[in-house]
């Protein structure tokens, strides 16, 4: 700990600290819980943060801190600030590339506290000066935790009484659990997983290590399911639940120990999908070994789940920063949330990851893969109908203006390739309130209908793909600012995924559907990667990547051509496999390069329905 005699001395001490390190100013009269200081001074997600009597700045905020300190030095009265060693000048820095983590569908920032009363201490004055200059200062919500700078003996006694009456370790454990979670996670996992998180923290384990353990456990579960034996299915169900416990633990560990990282965000976002889809594949392999080919059901479940997600992502991005964002439907939803039992009922009906994995695990152990997939398809279909209907009602009753940012996000989520972009460049934009989603839907129906009802391998299906390309380009020729334009990306996803599924299933070629499963998995990874980049504020993947893998319309047309050229030939499976490998390699290499780079965003997953 370095002690400054006055504000000028504090400025000199701060200037002597290497530029890459986090620093902190703490008033020597500070009284508070250790966890309050931990929340205020060690969270790596914020360039600057403050609580009463304490202020911290990471490397990117250091120049602004020095300027603010210099400006306020003359105005500060008595009182000597100090630097906190654990969170300050003498500690190893938290890197600026670690602003957050995505360790679970709940790794979000703590809710911002209400504007605090004016803090007359030196750290408080500097924090105000930083905000006046335009540097955001995070003020963590402390709840029952004490953080105060008493001005007299009476205030000090009150602060000490509050300090002794609250167990900050109990508060720390409670706050490690995500505030808004599903019923199964809240009541069946979190009551004990938080203690596992603390155990991991005390042994120096990181959230990323727990995330990786969750992935490995799920892959072992998929391998057990692939044996096709009853013992394997029972073991798979148990291991899948263990994997989910670890999936909850990694986020709780990140919140408990404030170990947030961009790498964690990427790992969690991708591993959740990899675990679930690998388990689907394991079930399908096990079923085939038992004489029941359910690959089409497995691919259908994956397609439905991916389309559900893109509906959520697209709607949320369209309304992320909408102006006058109100509707009677939203008001009714808020009213229902005030009734306790409806909150849990509405969280369960959307079949979030906890309820979904519990259902999969139990049915895997007790029934057959076919029954598991039937239950998934029925449950996810009902959930999709419920959520999509609610979003449609909100969109139709909401008086909101879409922003340019929202329109760009929807365009990026559309994943239009060079063919659709070429059409959009020369075609006049569609006018009318609902013509854009109608054009996208018409194109999707033409494509899927031709794959379903025309003779397999017909060149008319290729002609339908040409119509799909044309309508896809028309749909994105103008900015997507209409009330229902957020439907365009999920319609495109459904068109591409379902077309691949149908053509592979109708091909009567051995292993065509497993190859299609691999192709959809690779493309879905690209679409999830796009979502998390947009949510992090860095925009979509680079244009060269989208052009290289063809865009949704290019890939759909290519699969239609392959089906026509390689009708009922084993080369169709080979072609689908080669396409899946090519897409996966290009997408994964670019994704890994981006997410381990310093430009990777801080991704927050609060509210994720996955």
Average pLDDT, the chain: 87
What percentage of the chain's residues is helix, strand, coil (to nearest 5)?
65, 5, 30
604: left (phi > 0), else alpha (psi -120 to 50), else beta?
beta
Give the model's pLDDT for residue 584: 97
Range with the lowest mean pLDDT among 19-23, 281-285, 439-443?
A: 19-23
122 vs 219, more confident? 219
In this model, does residue 282 exceed pLDDT 90?
yes
Give the model's pLDDT for residue 328: 60
Give the model's pLDDT for residue 333: 59
Is 153:40 a contact under the CB 8 Å cutoff?
A: no
In this prediction the pTM is: 0.86
Give the model's pLDDT for residue 74: 60
Give the model's pLDDT for residue 565: 95
Give the model's pLDDT for residue 266: 78
| 318-340: pLDDT as tens digits | 987 765 555 565 555 556 555 66
Give the model's pLDDT for residue 203: 95
Count of helix runs (H) and strand runs (E) in the chain: 25, 7
Report the alpha-carbon distance of residue 69 to residue 74 in Å, rounded.
9
Q: What is the residue-wise DSSP string for 516-559?
A: HHHHHHHHHHHHHHHHHHHHTTS-SSPHHHHHHTTHHHHHHHHH
Report the alpha-carbon distance of residue 41 to residue 443 in Å, rounded.
54
Is 547:448 a contact under the CB 8 Å cutoff?
A: no
Q: Which residue has the tokens 């152990």?
A: 365
| 135-147: pLDDT as tens digits | 999 999 999 999 9
398 vs 345, more confident? 345
134's tokens: 């335009």
Give the model's pLDDT for residue 505: 96
Angle in degrees, 0-180, between the axes of helices 551-565 and 571-595, rounded to the nearest 10: 160
Report the alpha-carbon distance of residue 37 to residue 283 in Å, rounded.
48
Give the model's pLDDT for residue 307: 96
In this model, does residue 189 exceed pLDDT 80?
yes
Non-local (6+) Cβ contacts of 74 within 8 A are none
3 state SS of 346: helix
Non-local (6+) Cβ contacts of 381 within 8 A are 304
Task: Work out the number of other CB atoms within 10 angstroms of the CB of residue 230.
Answer: 12
Give the model's pLDDT for residue 567: 87
Non-local (6+) Cβ contacts of 357 within 8 A are 240, 241, 244, 276
Distance of CA 23 to the CA centre of its chain: 30
Residue 468 vs residues 419, 474, 526: alpha-carbon distances, Å = 10, 10, 21
The length of the chain in residues reads: 610
Give the model's pLDDT for residue 330: 56
Count the alpha carbons within 13 Å of 347 in the hemisphere toward its beta carbon. Answer: 21
Taking alpha carbons only, the member of 608, 571, 25 closest to residue 309 is 608
Q: Which residues pair with 205 in a beta bridge?
A: none
In this model, does residue 96 exceed pLDDT 80?
no
* pLDDT category of residue 78 using cuts at 50, 70 and 90: very low
Report the alpha-carbon distance of residue 24 to residue 205 in Å, rounded.
26
Task: Work out the number of other CB atoms within 10 angstroms of the CB of residue 324.
Answer: 9
| 338-371: pLDDT as tens digits | 566 677 888 888 899 999 999 999 999 999 999 9
Give the model's pLDDT for residue 182: 85
3 state SS of 138: strand
| 479-537: pLDDT as tens digits | 999 999 999 999 999 999 999 999 999 998 999 999 999 999 999 999 999 998 888 77
Non-local (6+) Cβ contacts of 521 within 8 A are 277, 302, 580, 584
Give the model's pLDDT for residue 119: 80
Task: Work out the number of other CB atoms within 10 angstroms of the CB of residue 599.
Answer: 10
Give the model's pLDDT for residue 89: 34
In this model, does residue 287 exceed pLDDT 60?
yes
Task: Work out the number of other CB atoms within 10 angstroms of the CB of residue 424.
Answer: 18
Give the model's pLDDT for residue 80: 40
Give Rg (Cα) of the chain: 27
In this model, does residue 583 exceed pLDDT 60?
yes
| 98-123: pLDDT as tens digits | 333 333 333 333 333 444 457 888 89
| 118-135: pLDDT as tens digits | 788 889 989 999 999 899
* pLDDT category of residue 595 using cuts at 50, 70 and 90: confident
195 vs 115, more confident? 195
Residues 163-187, mean pLDDT to the nearest whole number: 91
3 state SS of 410: helix
160 vs 602, more confident? 160
Residues 240-247, mean pLDDT to the nearest whole number: 97
Distance of CA 334 to the CA centre of its chain: 23
Backbone angles phi, psi at 57, to 5 degrees: -145, 135
Report the alpha-carbon distance of residue 7 to residue 68 in Å, rounded.
11
């Amino acid at each position: 700990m370095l002690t400054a005699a006055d504000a000028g001395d504090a400025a000199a001490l701060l200037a002597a600290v290497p530029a890459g390190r986090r620093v902190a100013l703490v008033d020597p009269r500070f009284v508070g819980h250790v966890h309050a200081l931990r929340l205020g001074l060690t969270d790596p997600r914020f360039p600057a943060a403050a609580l009463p009597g304490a202020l911290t700045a990471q490397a990117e905020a250091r120049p602004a801190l020095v300027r603010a300190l210099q400006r306020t030095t003359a105005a500060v009265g008595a009182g000597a600030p100090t630097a906190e060693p654990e969170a300050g000048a003498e500690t190893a820095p938290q890197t600026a590339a670690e602003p957050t983590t995505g360790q679970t569908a709940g790794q979000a920032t703590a809710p911002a506290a209400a504007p605090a009363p004016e803090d007359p201490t030196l750290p408080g004055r500097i924090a105000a000066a930083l905000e006046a200059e335009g540097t955001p200062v995070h003020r963590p919500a402390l709840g029952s935790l004490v953080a105060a700078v008493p001005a007299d003996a009476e205030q000090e006694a009150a602060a000490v009484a509050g300090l002794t009456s609250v167990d900050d370790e109990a508060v720390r454990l409670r706050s490690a659990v995500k505030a808004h979670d599903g019923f199964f996670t809240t009541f069946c996992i979190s009551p004990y997983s938080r203690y596992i998180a603390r155990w991991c923290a005390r042994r120096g384990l990181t959230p990323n290590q727990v995330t990786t353990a969750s992935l490995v456990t799920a892959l072992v579960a998929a391998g057990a399911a692939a044996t096709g034996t009853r013992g394997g299915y029972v073991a798979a169900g148990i291991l899948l639940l263990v994997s989910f416990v670890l999936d909850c633990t990694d986020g709780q560990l990140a919140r408990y120990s404030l170990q947030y990282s961009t790498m964690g965000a990427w790992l969690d976002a991708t591993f959740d999908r990899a675990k679930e889809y690998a388990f689907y594949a394991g079930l399908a392999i096990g079923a085939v070994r038992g004489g029941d080919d359910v690959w089409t059901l497995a691919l259908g479940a994956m397609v439905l789940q991916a389309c559900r997600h893109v509906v959520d992502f697209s709607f949320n991005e369209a309304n992320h920063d909408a102006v006058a964002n109100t509707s009677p439907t939203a008001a009714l939803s808020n009213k229902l949330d005030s009734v306790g039992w409806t909150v849990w009922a509405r969280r369960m009906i959307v079949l979030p990851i906890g309820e979904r994995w519990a259902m999969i695990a139990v049915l895997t152990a007790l029934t057959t893969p076919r029954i598991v997939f039937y239950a998934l398809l029925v449950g996810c279909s009902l959930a999709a109908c419920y959520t999509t209907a609610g979003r449609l009602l909100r969109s139709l009753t909401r008086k909101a203006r879409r922003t340019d940012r929202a329109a760009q996000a929807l365009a990026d989520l559309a994943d239009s390739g060079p063919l659709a972009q070429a059409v959009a460049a020369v075609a006049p934009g569609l006018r009318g309130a609902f013509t854009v989603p109608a054009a996208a839907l018409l194109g999707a129906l033409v494509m899927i209908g031709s794959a379903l009802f025309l003779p397999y391998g017909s060149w008319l299906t290729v002609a339908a793909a040409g119509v799909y390309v044309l309508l896809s380009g028309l749909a994105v020729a103008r900015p997507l600012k209409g009330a229902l334009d957020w439907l365009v990306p999920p319609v495109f996803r459904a068109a591409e995924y379902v077309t691949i599924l149908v053509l592979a299933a109708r091909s009567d070629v051995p292993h065509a559907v497993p190859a299609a499963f691999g192709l959809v998995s690779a493309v879905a990874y690209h679409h999830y990667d796009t979502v998390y980049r947009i949510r992090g504020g860095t925009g979509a993947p680079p244009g060269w990547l989208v052009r290289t893998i063809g865009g949704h319309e290019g890939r759909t047309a290519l699969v239609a051509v392959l089906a026509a050229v390689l009708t009922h030939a084993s080369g169709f499976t080979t072609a689908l496999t080669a396409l899946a490998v090519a897409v996966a390699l290009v997408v994964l290499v670019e994704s890994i390069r981006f997410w381990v780079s310093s430009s990777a965003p801080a991704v927050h997953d609060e509210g994720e329905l996955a």
